[in-house]
Structure 1
Amino acid sequence: MPLLPDADFIRIDFVDEFAQWKPTGKINVERLANYLVERYTITSNDVLIGHSMGGWVAIYVKQQTGSKTIQISSWTDQRKIRLPIHNLNVLRFLLFSGVTQSRRLTEYFHAKYPFPESAALHRSLMQGMRRMNRRYVYQQLQVLFAKASPLTVAPDLRIHTRRDSIIARPDEAFIEVPGDHFSLVFHPEKVAAAIDF
């Protein structure tokens, strides 16, 4: 944020948002976007910058409000998420049976992680996921993989790397930055330079 032009920034943390929202029943990206639009009174005058899942939510906020949206290492097609399983029923079973947060699986994913630059951050995130509340993890999985209405809008700007092992690069035009999925952490100047309000 310090590298971006002056603005009134609001940082949205999904852990805090889900704790505040306390949704019941099935959810998807549209329900979360609708909640955020109402909670923060988001309008077409706002600019949303979202990384990864944040960019996925941001594009659905744009669909509801017409706000400007900038995606960083994100997607508009759920098939771009590089996970071998996208079926929510299977993912729910694996999560609540303890497999998803097991030491063995998180260590396996970390051992397969190909980028030394962000390996320590990736390990930290994997370890953090093991301690997350399973209900919250399932809410995240629903936002990622539950069916949603087809998008009728596109991001105003896509920023991506060619070396992203978590999200496949867009088929549409994008501004390429160095690094991997965590380019905004390890190459913030390059990412910020690509952003134009």
Structure 2
Amino acid sequence: MPLLPPAEYVRINLADEFQRWQPAGAVNVRKLAQTLIDLYEIRADDVIIGHSMGGWVAINIKELSGATVIQLASWTNQKKILFPTDNLTILKLMLNTGLTQSRMLTRFFRKAYPFQESRALYDQLLEGSTTMARLYVWQQLQTLFAKVAPLTVQPDLRIHARRDSIVSPPDEPFVDVPGDHFCLVFHAEAVAEPIRTLLANRSGMGTA
């Protein structure tokens, strides 16, 4: 954020938002997007920047509001998520039996992770996932994998590292940056530069 132009930035933490929302019944990304639009009064002249699952939420916000969207290491096609299964029945069974947050599975994912540059951060995030509330993990899985109506919009900017081992690169044109899924942390300037260009062009068109 310090590398971007001055603006009124609002950080959205999905753990907090789900706690505030407390949805009854099934969740999907489109329902979450509408909840955030209502809560934050998101309009077409806003800019949403989202990383990974946040980018998936962001493009669904654009679908409903027309806001400008910048996706970092994210997707518009759920098949781009590199995960062993997208079957929610299987995923819920794994979660309910404790396998999803087990030390065994955590060790497997840690051992399989290929990038030394971001390994410490990846390990930290994996460790944090083992202590998350099971309900929140289930809400995340539904956000990722529950089917929704096809998108009719595309992001205004896609930024992705080809070596990303968590989300495959888009089929559509994108800005290729160094690093891996966590390029925004370890190659922040390379990620910020195209965002600054987009925002400058947008400002030049008379949009605040």
Query: For this structure pair, what is the TM-score category when the shorter chain's length is used for normalisation?
Result: over 0.9
Matched residue, 1:79? 79
How many angstroms does 1:185 deviate by? 0.6
How many angstroms does 1:46 deviate by? 0.1
What TM-score does the superposition give when structure 2 sets the normalisation length? 0.94
Q: CA RMSD in A?
A: 0.5
For residues 87-128 of structure 1, the C-alpha deviation after alignment (integer angstroms, 9 at most, x for no partner) is 000000001100010001011001000000000000001100
Off by >6 Å, runs of 4+ in structure 1: none
1-structure distance, mates of 2:111, 2:184: 22
| Structure 1 residue identity aligned to 2:170 | P
Specify every segment of 5 or more residues in structure 2 that has no aligned partner in the other structure, as ranges. Answer: 200-208
1:35 aligns with 2:24: no
Percent pairwise identity: 56
How many angstroms does 1:194 deviate by? 1.5
How many angstroms does 1:137 deviate by? 0.1
Q: Secondary structure at the match of 2:173?
A: coil
What TM-score does the superposition give when structure 1 sets the normalisation length? 0.99
2-structure distance, mates of 1:24, 1:116: 41
Matched residue, 2:95? 95
Matched residue, 1:144? 144
How many angstroms does 1:84 deviate by? 1.2
| Structure 1 residue identity aligned to 2:169 | R
Q: How many pairs are equivalent? A: 197
2-structure distance, mates of 1:5, 1:96: 44
Equivalent residues in 2 for 1:54-65 (5 A)?
54-65=54-65
2-structure distance, mates of 1:121, 1:51: 15
Matched residue, 1:47? 47
Matched residue, 2:203? none
Q: Secondary structure at the match of 2:118?
A: helix
Specify every segment of 5 or more residues in structure 1 that has no aligned partner in the other structure, as ranges. Answer: none
How many angstroms does 1:28 deviate by? 0.1
